[in-house]
Structure 1
Amino acid sequence: MPQKTEPLKSILGFEYENILHTLSNLGLNIVISVVILIAGFWLANKAGKMVTRLLQKSKTDAGLISFLTNLTVIASKILVVFTAMSQLGIAMTSFVTILGAAGIAIGMAFSGTLSNFAGGILILVIKPFKLKDTISALLVTGEVTEIQIFNTYIKTADNKVIILPNGPLINGTIVNFTRMEKRRIDIVMPVKYGLGSEEIVSKIKETLENHPAILKDPKSQVFFTDFEPNFGKLNVICWVKTTDHLNVHRELSNTFFEWLEPTQ
């Protein structure tokens, strides 16, 4: 029997024992690599949570906490993947050489991603907005709920979550509605001449003077503009704290237009 297998061994150029040994080692390395991935990803998530706790204790800006946590988790997972690849015998030097040779193509493919990453860093450095600010950007208006490495999450008034890429976001126009302590309320109403218009103006001025949420400085204003043959546009301007803006604006608008109904 040994005599029959010798020619086959010579033709194939290796021993059966070597095949079994190679397959055994490969299978073991695959198992170890899978274990490295599972354990490594779990530890990466744990590391992210640890970074979050440490930064929260140091009272770091919430947006920066979110950014650094995501950066820690992603960097850790990349390291885990490289470690698992090394266990399979994939040389990192060869891998880096391949990436270098394909650098131009990869750079073009990921130019948007790199731009978003740079945008995320700029947002945290320049701070055009922070978490819980209400902003308008890229045709979207809402509250900032999360600032991540590549994207910023916005919750709209109708409870939709919109994800904005950080690159275009930082390069575009950003309107921050909550950055300043005061905001102005502007209400414009068409008022017919006569028919109690003077009484309405008087009631509006009295309301502005006595409303607890309306600030005394800057001073409120009530005046007519754009005089038409049958009516003029009554402008009401007042200032409130930013946190009161929406509620006071709605309250005044409803009240004033109710007063106007009998005169229209």
Structure 2
Amino acid sequence: MDILFDWFNNNSDLVMHYILQGLLALLIFFIGLRVTRFLSSLTEKAICNRKVDKAVGVFLSNIVYALGFVATLLMALSQVGVETTSFIAILGAAGLAVGLALQGSLSNFASGVLIIILRPFKSGDYIDAGGQSGSVRKIEIFSTELITPDNKVIIIPNSSVMSGAIVNYSRELTRRIDLVIGVSYDADLKQVKSVLEGVLTSESRILNDPSYTVAVLELGDSSVNFAVRPWVNTGDYWPTYFDLLENIKNALDDAQINIPYPQMDVHLQKTEK
């Protein structure tokens, strides 16, 4: 114990120097974290105030936070005498090793950057991507979060989003409803067409431009199939779709036009032995 006290007395200046440096490094680290969080939040707010997609703001704020954290850590280590040049080299080597082990995560990060740059969708769009469908809630560094119409949350890796086809149902202002209506072969086709057009004309949500299409699509196995293709505003797609099916069925019933069940005629032939 005496030896320890003697050593401390002989090196008290050096000990105090390292204690002060350590305390200063901790102060730099905690202040740096607070500044980093502030800049991250400020980035997100600034982007949202410019009426840019919220998902972009979340993504960029995450990038700012990650860069700020690394910079703060390096400054704190430099304060206690750690050679940051060597440390950066070590981080680079470690990063290469980790990168090889986490190729999927790096692929997700790169895909997230591509999503932000290419903008195939934005927050609130209803999309089909990565084998899943839902409204985009937010785009993060490694994943995209969707919410389904029945309020389920789906988190898709960004690499899965960008590796396949992306169907964006919300980008265009208008959509076409595609219905196939089958009627009996005994029905008067001109009458059927008139009834279908009457239903479309009476629906106020159907657009005049582009105009709707009502035409014979095919002569099926048990019915004559009509293609009914009106255009509506994207937001009116599903309500109009459901109402049209109901109204067409009622109109055909009122006109006594039969909608046949799938059927097959079987002919039996008796043979004598």
Query: What band does the TM-score fall into relative to the shorter chain?
Result: 0.7 to 0.9
Question: Which amino acid in structure 2 is aligned with residue 204 of structure 1?
Answer: L
Question: Hey, what does 2:168 align to over in structure 1?
Answer: 176
Contact 1:226–1:232 (CA<8 Å) still a contact in 2? Answer: yes
SS at match of 2:226: strand
User: Which deviates more, 158-167 or 179-188?
Assistant: 158-167
60, 70, 87: which one aligns with 2:62: 70
CA drift at 1:187: 1.2
In structure 1, what is the equivalent of residue 223 of structure 2? 231
Q: For 2:235, what is the secondary structure of its paired residue?
A: helix
Other-structure match for 2:262: none
Which region of structure 1 is more displaced relative to structure 2, 171-180 or 49-58? 49-58
- Output the aligned Cα RMSD: 3.4
Q: 1:198 offset after TM fit, Å?
A: 6.6
The match for 1:248 is: 240
Partners of 1:200 and 1:259 within 8 A in 2 = no
Indicate the SS of the match to 1:159: coil
> How has the CA–CA distance of structure 1 residues 82 and 209 changed in structure 2, closer, same or farther, with 3 Å as cutoff?
same
* Corresponding residue of 2:90: 98
Q: Could you tell me which residue of structure 1 aligns to residue 129 of structure 2? A: 137
Instruction: Give 5+ residue unaligned stretches, structure 2.
Output: 260-273
Within-5 A mapping of 1:1-264: 9=3, 15=7, 36-87=28-79, 89-194=81-186, 201-228=193-220, 230-259=222-251, 263-264=258-259
Give CA-to-partner distance per residue, 1:136-172, whole Å, 9 cap, x none.
Answer: 1111111111122332221112211222222332232
Q: Note the alpha carbon deviations across 1:193-242, whole angstroms, 9 max, x for none.
A: 44788765433211211311111222222233443454222321111111
* C-alpha distance in structure 2 between counterparts of 1:148 and 1:28, whole Å: 39
Could you tell me which runs of 5 or more consecutive residues in structure 1 were left unpaired when the two chains were aligned. none
Q: Percent identity?
A: 32
Q: How many residues align?
A: 255
Residue type of the partner of 1:242?
T
CA contact (8 A) 2:195 2:252 kept: no
Q: TM-score, normalised by structure 1?
A: 0.78
* 8 Å CA contact 1:36, 1:84 repeated in 2: yes
> How does the TM-score come out when normalised to structure 2?
0.76
Instruction: Provide, for residues 104-158 of structure 1, a one-character-per-residue CA deviation record: whole Å limited to 9, x for no partner.
Output: 4223123333322222222222211112111111111111111223322211122
Superimposed CA distance per residue, residues 8-51 of structure 1 (whole angstroms, 9 cap, x where no aligned partner): x5xx9x93667999988877776665555544333322222222
Aligned equivalents of 1:76 and 1:56: distance in 2? 21
Deviation at 1:88, TM superposition (A): 5.3
